[in-house]
Amino acid sequence: MKQSLNTSAKKLKDLGDSLDLEKIQAQIEELEEAQNAENFWSDQKKAQSTIKELNKLKDLRTRYYQNKEGIEGILKEVDELNKNYDAELFELLEEEYEEVNRNFEEFEIKVLLSNDYDHSNALLEIHPGAGGTESQDWAEMLFRMYQRYAQNNGYGFEVISYEEADEAGIKSCLVAIKGDMAYGYLKGESGVHRLVRISPFDASSRRHTSFASVEVLPEFNNEIEIEIRDEDLEVDTMRSSGAGGQHINKTDSAVRMKHIPTGLMAFSQSERSQILNREKCLAILKAKLYQKAIEDRENEKRALKGEQRKIEWGSQIRSYIFCPYTLVKDHRTNYEEGNVDKVMNGEINDFLFAYLKSQI
């Protein structure tokens, strides 16, 4: 117990150093001064942003000192118990130890999710790799996994675009997972996901390996100022035909938008009017342009998006093995889960947390 507490104390100190508590205190004082200004509410949007940032910084500061006090307090109790052992006190101390551990883990996640836009909704795009029907079916399986993850965690799940494949599965999809910290938790899902199973599409029941890529972006509304000129856009409108089945509205309102200078694409078919789908496409392009800009800076690239690689053998971030044994393994953290059905039912929080902790 004492060794574990000492380890937590060291981790807490490292977290405090990464937060730069002196800088946080200075930021709190600066924001409080701005909040007390006479014209503070003249700009409602800016005022709300200031309050949100102030509350976030105060929460981090409070939680740090609460954890510090809790760990130091229980360490003293452990030392006292070692001198004068008491069975009843030991049971109480074990309960307190569990609570201190829970509080520390919650704080650890809070620190890991304190970067810009971690509180945002997440835009999640899935594409099958080479392999035709096999990979397209795997992409749809991932779609369902993230849908169940959203349901399990109380997040909203909106299908923005969904293109069915000819035989089975999907050619691509874009969804919004909506709720506080959705992007922060899911940002580590960006990358190539590998499936190994006996193919239901192979008459000889052979084992197949399939790949699909997942890309995760923060959803922006008007938080960032990125100018997109009309002359830089190529816009096509079309019918939201059968693609997506029950997932989308079938109207003559789908919009596909290309940003000509970068080649970035956006497609929306979830709204009932072309105007609203156009607005959604612009928001998606803003997110992609923002991400493209920050990818040139390696330190922010790791914070906002996992490394994107070719959708092929050897580049996967995680493997899902259905046969000859069952195992899901994240190759970045080595975290494993033997119950594949559990993972495919959206219970992926342990994988998300393991990735976030690996980024400290």
Tell me the CATH number of domain 2-112, given options 1.10.286.10, 3.20.20.150, 2.70.160.11, 1.20.58.410: 1.20.58.410
Whole-prediction pTM:
0.74
For the segment 145-181, what is each residue's pLDDT rounded down to a tens digit?
A: 999 999 999 999 999 989 898 888 999 999 999 998 8
| 221: confidence class by pLDDT, cuts 50, 70, 90 | low
Chain centroid, CA 18 distance in Å? 21
Distance CA 171, CA 321 (A): 22
| 295: confidence class by pLDDT, cuts 50, 70, 90 | low
Phi first, then psi: what are they for 238, rounded to 5°? -160, 175
- How many Cβ atoms sit within 10 Å of the Cβ of residue 85? 9
256 bridge partner residues: 236, 267
In the predicted structure, residue 185 carries a pLDDT above the cut 50: yes
336 bridge partner residues: 329
In the predicted structure, residue 50 carries a pLDDT above the cut 60: yes
| Closest C-alpha to 290, from 301, 298, 279 | 301
Residue whose pair of structure tokens reads 């199973």 in the numeric block: 197
Determine whether domain 122-219+311-358 maps to CATH 3.30.70.1660: yes
Distance CA 140, CA 126 (A): 8
Domains 2-112 and 122-219+311-358 are alike in CATH topology: no
Q: Is 258 left (phi over 0), alpha (psi -120 to 50) or beta?
A: beta
Determine whether domain 230-294 maps to CATH 3.30.160.20: yes
Whether the link from the prior residue into 128 is cis, omega within 30° of 0, is no
For the segment 301-310, what is each residue's pLDDT rounded down to a tens digit?
A: 555 555 555 5
Cβ-proximal residues to 110 (8 Å cutoff; 6+ apart), any chain: 59, 60, 63
* Structural domain spans, the chain: 2-112, 122-219+311-358, 230-294
- How many Cβ atoms sit within 10 Å of the Cβ of residue 130? 12
| 244: confidence class by pLDDT, cuts 50, 70, 90 | very low
